């Protein structure tokens, strides 16, 4: 297996590019670590957080935006993924090992953990949780991976062994990141949120669906903290109203729009910072729909789009113009791969001429969610500029998602994906744009073989080679163009300390405190 360092949790201190007002300038002069960690934590207080989406306890085993600030506070996972390196760090797991052939994976679990109900955590609970990942109704994105495992067994009171016909690690750590360990005795209570029992630093207290959630400190938490007495999550659907809530109503605002951050420029009472995780904005092309069955035309679209302009005009500079569907520092990624389709309208025109597609209509379905319609405005302008005729239709999220699930989105479509932070080996079978039955209808045998080679790679060198080969193939086939990747922007007041974001953007408040 790949050599993974256990340094997982990503504190804001290590990554954040902070943008804020004058008050923050002084803070930025200090070492980043000092910003968030050096002061002695103070106990007490209620941390109030605003977010746009409600929690979804029935989908706690899936990656959902609404659960980002909830799942790792009421629940724990076996391991979490580091924000910068993507390497796993033990939480409920104290140790893990892989067999020589990689087909057997064994994980040791802490023996001092109790659920909020008072019942001790055992290996059976871990087995139950991992088995639940397979249940379709639980909607976990990691279901295809867990289904590949041939057995999940408790081989000791605090030991679980996973076997598979294909190597279990390293993708098992992506599964673990989503697999919050649930209490099998009260699992049914997650359906309506009437009983939410985990092992995390906070106990669930109350949920008013669509409005708010309250969690209180778990005094028997196995780890350090929590320092806060309670945490309140407030759902505010209107993004501007949510951003404004930082002016007295809440202490932290999660996922504000780039447009709304402008309101806080020069405001010393508010700090704007980038978190981990983020969003992909892919443009997909149906490789069977004429004239897009011509690879040259698909590649032309890649060269026609001015990604820098999207970042500047739509996201106010908060994002990157990478062409790959995974982290740009994933082993095997190179500058050539990450920036394969640099903006080159002349090259695009040549390829369009080569494909004989001058003036071709480009029917596009666009998800009417977040910034995608704004991104479309630039894309359609770029395509028109190189001699194509884009005809866009913005669809409501619910209707678009139906088409995405069915793999039917028309010849060209603009999607939005989360899950940023998981490994490439996992994403190629989890992201709707890339998985089997993707709406691009792209699934040739070579694609599967290259994915299999990546997923079977057991050391970093083999992984890097396999990923490079897969990336080059995918970029050449040009069935899905990642237009931009954005990182989430958050707000906090200077009184808030110790926020921790895991690699995929999940917030953990066990070490958080109010000054």
Partner 1 sequence: MLHFLAKRLPSVALMLVVTAVIAFLLPRLGGGDPAQVVAGSDATAEQVQAIREQMGLDRPLPVQFAEWVGQVATGDLGTSLISNRPVAQLIGARLGSTLELAVTATALMIVMGLGLGILAGITRKGAPRALLDGAISVLLATPPHVTGLILILIFGITWRLMPITGEVSVFDDPVRGFSYLIMPAFALALPQAAMIARLVDARMAQVRQEEFVDLAVAKGVPPRRILLSHVLRNSLGTAVIATGIRIGEILAGAVVIEAIFARQGLGMLAVTSISSRDYEVVQIIVLFAVVIAVLVHFASEILLAALDPRIRLDG
Residue ranges binding partner 1 (CB under 8 A): 54, 56, 58-59, 62-64, 136-137, 139, 141, 143, 191-193, 208-212, 234-238, 240-242, 244-245, 247-249, 396-399, 401-402, 404-407, 417-419, 430-432, 435, 437
Residue closer to partner 1, measured from CB, 235 or 428: 235
Sign of the dihedral defined by the CA atoms of residues 284, 139, 57, 326, in that order: negative
The conformation of residue 390, written as its DSSP 8-state character, comes to E
Q: How far apart are CA 236 and CA 248, in angstroms?
A: 14
Question: For partner 1, which is the closer residue by CB, 329 or 393?
Answer: 393
For residue 134, the minimal CB distance to partner 1 (Å) is 11
Q: Which is nearer to partner 1, 38 or 240 (CB)?
A: 240
Tokens 């057997």 locate to 104
For residue 242, CA distances in Å to 16, 149, 160, 506 come to 21, 42, 43, 19
* 132, 184, 360 from 202: Cα distances, Å: 23, 19, 57
> What count of other Cβ atoms lies within 10 Å of the Cβ of residue 436?
13
> For residues 260 and 306, which CB has a smaller minimum distance to partner 1 in the complex?
260
Least CB distance to partner 1 at residue 246 (A): 9
Q: Which is nearer to partner 1, 427 or 475 (CB)?
A: 427
Per the CB < 8 A criterion, the answer to whether 364 and 414 are in contact is yes
Q: Work out how close the CB of 112 gets to partner 1 at its nearest, in angstroms, rounded to a whole number.
A: 34
Q: Output the smallest distance, CB 316 to partner 1, in A.
A: 20
Q: Which residues of 61-99 are buried (b: 16+ CB within 10 A; e: fewer)?
A: bbbbbbbbbbbbbbbbbbbbbbbebbbbbbbbbeebebe
Closest Cα partner for 146 from 432, 438, 430, 510? 430
CB of 431: closest distance to partner 1 in angstroms?
A: 7
Q: Are 163 and 151 in contact (CB under 8 A)?
A: yes
**Minimum CB distance to partner 1, residue 279 (Å):** 12
Minimal distance, residue 141 CB to partner 1, in Å: 5
Kindly tell me which of 30 and 399 has the beta carbon lying closer to partner 1.
399
Q: Nearer to partner 1 by C-beta: 123 or 213?
A: 213
Q: How far is the CB of 438 from partner 1 (least distance, A)?
A: 11
CB closer to partner 1 out of 143 and 492: 143
Distances (CA, A) of 40 to 37, 251, 511, 514: 8, 19, 11, 11
Least distance in angstroms from the C-beta of 135 to partner 1: 8
Residue pointed to by tokens 């390196």: 85
Q: Which two tokens stand for residue 488?
A: 């989430």
Please give the C-alpha separations between residue 101 and each of 93, 283, 412, 458, 476, in angstroms, as whole numbers.
Answer: 22, 38, 42, 9, 33
Using the minimum distance from each CB to partner 1, give the nearer residue, 101 or 137.
137
Angle between helices 307-315 and 372-385 (to 10 degrees): 140
Distance in Å, CB of 219 to partner 1, minimum? 28
Contact 498, 63 (CB under 8 A): no
Structure tokens at 189: 């209570």
Of 63 and 88, CB closest to partner 1: 63
Quick one: how far is CA 387 from the chain centroid? 35
In this complex, which beta carbon is closest to partner 1, that of residue 217 or of residue 434?
A: 434
Tokens representing 454 are 């990546």
Closest contact distance (angstroms) between CB of 397 and partner 1 is 7
């Amino acid at each position: 297996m790949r050599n993974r360092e256990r340094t997982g949790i990503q504190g804001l201190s290590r990554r954040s590019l902070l943008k804020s007002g004058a008050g923050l300038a002084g803070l930025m002069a200090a070492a980043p670590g000092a910003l968030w960690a050096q002061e002695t934590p103070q106990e007490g207080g209620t941390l109030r957080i605003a977010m746009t989406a409600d929690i979804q306890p029935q989908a706690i085993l899936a990656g959902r935006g609404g659960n980002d600030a909830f799942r790792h506070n009421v629940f724990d996972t076996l391991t979490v993924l580091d924000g910068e390196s993507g390497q796993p760090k033990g939480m409920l797991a104290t140790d893990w090992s892989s067999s020589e052939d990689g087909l057997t994976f064994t994980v040791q679990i802490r023996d001092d953990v109790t659920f909020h109900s008072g019942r001790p955590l055992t290996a059976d609970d871990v087995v139950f949780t991992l088995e639940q990942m397979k249940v379709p109704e639980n909607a976990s994105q990691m279901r295809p991976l867990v289904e590949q495992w041939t057995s999940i067994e408790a081989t000791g009171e605090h030991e679980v062994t996973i076997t598979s016909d294909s190597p279990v690690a390293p993708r098992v750590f992506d599964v673990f990141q989503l697999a919050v360990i649930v209490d099998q005795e009260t699992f049914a209570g997650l359906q309506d949120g009437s009983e939410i029992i985990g092992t995390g630093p906070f106990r669930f207290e109350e949920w008013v669906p669509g409005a708010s959630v309250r969690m209180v400190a778990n005094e028997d938490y196995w780890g350090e903290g929590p320092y806060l007495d309670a945490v309140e999550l407030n759902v505010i659907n209107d993004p501007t109203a949510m951003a404004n809530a930082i002016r007295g109503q809440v202490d932290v605002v999660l996922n504000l729009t780039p447009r709304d951050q402008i309101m806080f420029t020069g405001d010393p009472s508010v700090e704007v910072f980038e978190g981990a995780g983020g969003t992909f904005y892919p443009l997909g092309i149906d490789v069977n729909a004429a004239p897009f069955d011509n690879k040259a035309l698909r590649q032309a679209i890649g060269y026609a789009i001015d990604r820098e302009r999207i970042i500047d005009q739509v996201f106010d500079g908060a994002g990157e113009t990478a062409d790959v569907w995974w982290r740009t520092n994933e082993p095997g990624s190179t500058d050539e791969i990450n920036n394969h389709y640099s903006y080159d309208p002349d090259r695009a025109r040549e390829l369009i001429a080569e494909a004989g597609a001058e003036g071709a209509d480009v029917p596009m379905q666009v998800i009417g969610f977040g910034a995608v319609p704004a991104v479309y405005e630039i894309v359609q302008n770029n395509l028109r500029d190189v001699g194509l005729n884009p005809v866009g239709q913005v669809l409501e999220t619910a209707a678009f998602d139906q088409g995405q699930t069915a793999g039917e989105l028309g010849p060209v479509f603009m999607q939005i994906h989360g899950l940023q932070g998981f490994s490439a080996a996992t994403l190629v079978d989890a992201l709707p744009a890339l998985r089997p039955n993707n709406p691009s209808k792209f699934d040739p045998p070579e694609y599967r073989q290259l994915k299999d080679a990546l997923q079977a790679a057991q050391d970093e060198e083999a992984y890097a080679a396999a990923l490079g080969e897969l990336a080059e193939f995918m970029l050449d086939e040009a069935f899905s163009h990642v237009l931009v990747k954005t990182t989430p922007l958050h707000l906090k007041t200077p009184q808030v300390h110790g926020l921790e974001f895991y690699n995929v953007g999940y917030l953990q408040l066990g070490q958080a405190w109010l000054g």
